[in-house]
C-alpha cells in the first residue's frame, strides 16, 4: 500500500479532494466562459489557491514517504527536490495572487525553480549505487545548450523568457530520458524503477500541456480552445506524475 501512516492518508485525502475541486472548477469555467482568455483568468482565481494546496500536500507526502525510502540518501534527494517543486508552484500560483501584475516574473521564477527540481531528479535517477556522488555527464550537455540559448537572449536574438523555457525543455526531456533508463541500473528496485519511468513520462506530458496552455489566439478560435483544454489537463498528469516519483522512493 502507498499510504501507510495516518498523516499520509490525510495528506492524500486532502490532495484528492482539492484535485476534484480544481478539475471541476476548471471545466465549469470553460463551460461558462468558453474559450475566452480574460474571462477564464478572472474566473480561475480559486484554482490559484487549490493548486498550491495540492503542491503542499505532495510535498508533505514526499517528506513522509521519504522516511521509509529504500535508501537514506534517496529519501534526502526526494525531499530536497520537492522543496524546489513547492517553491516553483508557489511562484506559478500564490505569487500571482500577491503580485497579479508580475506575470512574467512569476513565470521566470517558476520555470527557474523547476529547472532545479529536474536537475535534482536527473542526479537522483542517474546514480548507480548508494555511494555514487559523481556528477552526471549529461549535465555538461544541458549546460552547453543552456549557454547557447542564454547567449542568444543576451545578444537580443531571442526573448529571455522564451530562452529560459527552451532551456527548461532541455532539462525536462533529459530528465525523462534518464528516468526511462533508470530500470537498467541495478540501484533502483524493479518496481521503483518502473514508477520513475512512468512518473517522468507523465511529468513531460504535463509540461507539454503547460506549453500548449500558454498559446493565445482570438476568443473561441481553435488555438484558444486548444490552450484552454491543455490548461485543464495539466494537473491530470502532474499529480499522478508527482505521486509516482514519490512512491518510487519506498522500500517494499
Q: What is the pLDDT of residues 130-182, one digit of tens each?
A: 777 778 888 888 889 899 999 998 888 888 888 998 999 999 999 999 998 87
Residues in Cβ contact with 32 at an 8 Å cutoff, skipping those fewer than 6 apart: 39, 43
Phi, psi angles (nearest 5°) of residue 133: -120, 15
Picking from 76, 65, 48, 84, the residue whose alpha carbon sits closest to that of residue 5 is 65
What is the structure's pLDDT at 118?
96
Half-sphere exposure of 114 (CA within 13 A, CB side): 30
What is the structure's pLDDT at 208?
94
Q: What is the pLDDT of residues 220-231, one digit of tens each?
A: 788 889 999 999
What is the structure's pLDDT at 61?
96
Cα torsion angle, 190, 195, 198, 204, sign: negative
DSSP the chain: ----SHHHHHHHHHHHHHHHHHHHHHHHHHHHH-S-HHHHHHHTHHHHHHHHHHHHHHHHHHHHHGGGBSSHHHHHHHHHHHHHHHHHHHHHTHHHHH-TT-HHHHHHHHHHHHHHHHHHHHHHHH--STT--PPPTHHHHHHHHHHHHHHHHHTTSS-HHHHHHHHHHHHHHHHHHHHHHGGGSSSS-HHHHHHHHHHHHHHHHHHHHHHHHT---STT-HHHHHHHHHHHHHHHHHHHHHHHHHHTTB--
The pairs formed by 139-145 with CB atoms below 8 angstroms and a separation of 24 or more are 141/174, 142/170, 142/171, 142/174, 145/170
- Residue 250, strand partner residues: 69
All residue ranges of the chain with pLDDT < 70 are 1-3, 102, 183-186, 252
Picking from 249, 127, 132, the residue whose alpha carbon sits closest to that of residue 185 is 127
What is the structure's pLDDT at 60?
96
Amino acid at each position: 500500500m502507498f499510504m501507510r501512516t495516518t498523516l499520509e492518508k490525510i495528506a492524500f485525502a486532502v490532495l484528492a479532494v482539492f484535485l476534484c475541486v480544481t478539475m471541476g472548477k476548471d471545466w465549469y469555467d470553460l463551460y461558462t466562459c468558453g474559450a475566452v482568455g480574460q474571462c477564464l483568468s478572472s474566473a480561475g482565481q480559486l484554482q490559484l489557491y487549490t493548486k498550491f494546496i495540492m503542491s503542499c500536500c505532495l510535498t508533505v507526502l514526499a517528506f513522509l514517504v521519504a522516511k521509509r525510502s529504500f535508501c537514506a540518501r534517496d529519501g534526502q534527494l526526494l525531499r530536497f527536490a520537492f522543496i524546489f517543486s513547492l517553491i516553483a508552484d508557489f511562484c506559478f500560483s500564490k505569487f500571482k495572487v500577491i503580485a497579479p501584475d508580475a506575470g512574467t516574473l512569476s513565470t521566470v521564477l517558476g520555470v527557474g525553480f523547476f529547472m532545479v527540481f529536474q536537475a535534482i531528479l536527473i542526479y537522483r535517477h542517474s546514480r548507480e549505487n548508494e555511494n555514487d556522488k559523481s556528477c552526471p555527464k549529461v549535465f555538461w550537455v544541458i549546460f552547453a545548450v543552456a549557454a547557447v540559448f542564454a547567449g542568444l537572449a543576451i545578444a537580443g536574438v531571442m526573448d529571455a523568457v522564451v530562452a529560459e523555457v527552451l532551456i527548461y525543455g532541455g532539462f525536462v526531456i533529459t530528465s525523462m530520458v534518464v528516468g526511462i533508463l533508470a530500470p537498467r541500473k541495478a540501484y533502483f528496485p524493479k518496481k521503483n524503477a518502473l514508477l520513475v519511468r512512468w512518473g517522468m513520462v507523465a511529468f513531460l506530458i504535463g509540461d507539454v500541456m503547460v506549453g500548449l496552455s500558454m498559446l493565445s489566439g482570438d476568443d473561441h478560435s481553435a488555438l484558444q480552445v486548444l490552450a484552454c483544454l491543455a490548461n485543464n489537463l495539466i494537473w491530470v498528469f502532474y499529480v499522478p506524475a508527482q505521486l509516482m516519483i514519490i512512491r518510487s522512493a519506498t522500500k517494499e
